[in-house]
Chain A
Amino acid sequence: MSSIIEVKGLKKDFGALQVLKGVDVSIEENEVVCVIGPSGSGKSTFLRCLNRLEEITDGEILIDGVHLSKDNENEVRTEMGMVFQSFNLFPHMSVLDNVTIGPRKVRKVDRKEAEHKALELLSRVGLADKAHGYPSSLSGGQKQRVAIARALAMNPKIILFDEPTSALDPEMVGEVLDVMKGLAHGGMTLVIVTHEMGFAKEVADRVLFMDEGYIIEQGTPDEIFNHPKEERTKNFLSKVL
């Protein structure tokens, strides 16, 4: 069986700065992968390369066996949602429109059907009563849950999370992580860049530790958190745990 995400020799430069120096990794369907590492390690860039928000400098990315390129980026993205650190909800649209705009405009689903599904998703993230409000009336945690519903509305096979709780007040982190746990248990393929080590320990099937543009070490949460082999991993964990 082929992996749903296959990354080979991925390199990414920003001008003279080399952020990713050669990343190889395969992610299986239904797998929950957490990417951890110090800031500047390239973990967010790695994630953003997976849906081509960043154009890669060298290497290859296969999504569901298809070589990711400029020509198929839009189709690939419909199968791969993304949740951002800063939510990026569309402020000029109601919560319901935020969730339905993708299905309606990209998948050409009719409004009624899209709204029906959106309401279902909003109740799944506990926000059905906010459907007709605007993003500006929501708390950070609520915004991020809407962002997750927006990603889910496209019926993706994969969801990428880019530090989804880093911009949240501490008391709101839990509600977002709970929704993400639900997705993980529901069998969705998730790639999560996170600083929430407790969450990674609990939910991840596999943890990738990145530093200076490489994946230094990977393994089960138990292997990474309790028996790290690499010096840099130990060093990082001693600072964050």
Chain B
Amino acid sequence: MLYVKGFLVALQGVPVTVGVTLIAMVTGAVLGLVLALMKMSRIKVLTALASLYIEVIRGTPLIVQALIMAYGLPQLMQSIGINFRWTYLIIPAIIVCGLNSAAYVAEVIRSGIQAVDKGQMEAARSIGMTKRQAMQLIVIPQALKIVLPSFGNEFVSLIKETSVLSYVGVVEILRKGALWNAATFNTFEAYIGVALVYMLLTIPSSKLVKRLEKKMSTDSAN
């Protein structure tokens, strides 16, 4: 049956989609934490840089960022005499998703840090901790716990957003379906197959996030 075939074809793209999403999520989390700290820093230059970065990333579509990274950048390099080509297009794809996710995660983490009671920082400082120790040991662990559900939501939307990478030649779920469509003209079956595979990933992930949210709210109620 063609729907089953379409589903199975799209399913072959799962490792790439999930791989890109996971690596991008980790990069995004680390970079996002750095950006969040920069944005809250008392050093004006850092704050300005972080704000600019976040504005630019959030103000432009992921597909445009991906096109710039995958095709624009090599072309620019060549025009200034550096012979540069991406060996695998999945590399700029991962980079762009990571950079993109960092901007969103930064805002999530910042709100998490600000949600931690001011008294926590004061209590930590009152026993002689440096500001850095207080952040590391007291504030950030609590902030991460607060933002864990938002993190999960970011993961779910990133799974879907990576579909734009099919336009820069990454053979992920959508691209698999599109290629099959081009070869067989089973257009409807191909894209229904793609949609089903995405749902296979996003619905369990969302369920997990909901569970997490529930657990967090009962935890904090105690």
Mark A residues whose CB is within 8 Å of B: 51, 53, 74-75, 77-78, 81-82, 84, 86, 88-92, 101-102, 105-107, 136-137, 147, 150-151, 153-154
A100 to B187, CA, bound (A): 64
Residue on B with the closest CB to A78?
Answer: B128
Contacts of B141 on A, CB cut-off 8 Å? Answer: 92
A136 to B119, CA, bound (A): 16
Residue on A with the closest CB to B127?
Answer: A102
* Cβ-defined contact, A75 with B122, below 8 A: no
* Cβ-defined contact, B126 with A81, below 8 A: yes
Measured CB to CB, the closest approach of chain A to B195, in angstroms, equals: 41
Contact among A84, A107, A153 with B122 in the assembled complex (CB-CB below 8 Å): A84
A167 to B28, CA, bound (A): 41
Mark interface residues in B130-158 (1 if CB within 8 Å of A CB, else 0): 10010001100110010000000000000
Measured CB to CB, the closest approach of chain A to B117, in angstroms, equals: 7
Residue on A with the closest CB to B129?
Answer: A106
Given contacts A84-B119, A105-B137, list 11 more A-B pairs with CB under 8 A.
A53-B126, A77-B125, A78-B128, A81-B127, A86-B117, A88-B120, A102-B128, A102-B129, A106-B129, A136-B222, A150-B123
Contacts of A86 on B, CB cut-off 8 Å? Answer: 117, 119
Contacts of A151 on B, CB cut-off 8 Å? Answer: 126-127
* Cβ-defined contact, A77 with B126, below 8 A: yes
Given that A84-B123, A90-B123 are known contacts, is A74 also in contact with B129, CB under 8 Å in the complex? Answer: yes
Measured CB to CB, the closest approach of chain B to A52, in angstroms, equals: 8
* Cβ-defined contact, A150 with B119, below 8 A: no
* Cβ-defined contact, B117 with A77, below 8 A: no
Chain B interface, DSSP helix/strand/loop, else mixed: helix
* Cβ-defined contact, B128 with A88, below 8 A: no
A101 to B133, CA, bound (A): 11
22 A-B contact pairs sorted by A residue (CB < 8 Å): A74-B128, A74-B129, A77-B128, A81-B126, A81-B127, A84-B122, A84-B123, A86-B117, A88-B117, A88-B119, A88-B122, A88-B123, A90-B142, A92-B141, A101-B137, A105-B133, A106-B129, A107-B128, A150-B127, A151-B127, A154-B127, A154-B128
Q: How many residues of B contact A (CB 8 A)?
A: 19
Measured CB to CB, the closest approach of chain B to A216, in angstroms, equals: 28
Residue on B with the closest CB to A90?
Answer: B138
A86 to B120, CA, bound (A): 10
A229 to B147, CA, bound (A): 56
Measured CB to CB, the closest approach of chain B to A140, in angstroms, equals: 14
Contacts of A147 on B, CB cut-off 8 Å? Answer: 123
From 28 to 64 in chain B, residues with beta carbon under 8 angstroms from any chain A beta carbon are none
Contacts of A137 on B, CB cut-off 8 Å? Answer: 222
From 191 to 222 in chain B, residues with beta carbon under 8 angstroms from any chain A beta carbon are 222
Given that A92-B141, A136-B222 are known contacts, is A106 also in contact with B120, CB under 8 Å in the complex? Answer: no
* Cβ-defined contact, B119 with A75, below 8 A: no
Contacts of A101 on B, CB cut-off 8 Å? Answer: 127, 137
A107 to B127, CA, bound (A): 10
* Cβ-defined contact, B127 with A75, below 8 A: no
Sorted nearest first, the 8 A-B pairs with minimum C-beta distance are A78-B128, A88-B123, A102-B127, A88-B119, A82-B126, A77-B128, A106-B128, A136-B222
A7 to B102, CA, bound (A): 47
Contacts of A150 on B, CB cut-off 8 Å? Answer: 123, 127
Contacts of A136 on B, CB cut-off 8 Å? Answer: 222
* Cβ-defined contact, A91 with B128, below 8 A: no
A93 to B89, CA, bound (A): 45
Measured CB to CB, the closest approach of chain B to A41, in angstroms, equals: 21
A166 to B40, CA, bound (A): 32
Residue on A with the closest CB to B124?
Answer: A90
Contacts of A84 on B, CB cut-off 8 Å? Answer: 119, 122-123, 126
Most buried by A among B117, B119, B126: B126
Contacts of A89 on B, CB cut-off 8 Å? Answer: 123
A106 to B145, CA, bound (A): 24
Mark interface residues in B109-125 (1 if CB within 8 Å of A CB, else 0): 00000000101101111
* Cβ-defined contact, A105 with B129, below 8 A: yes
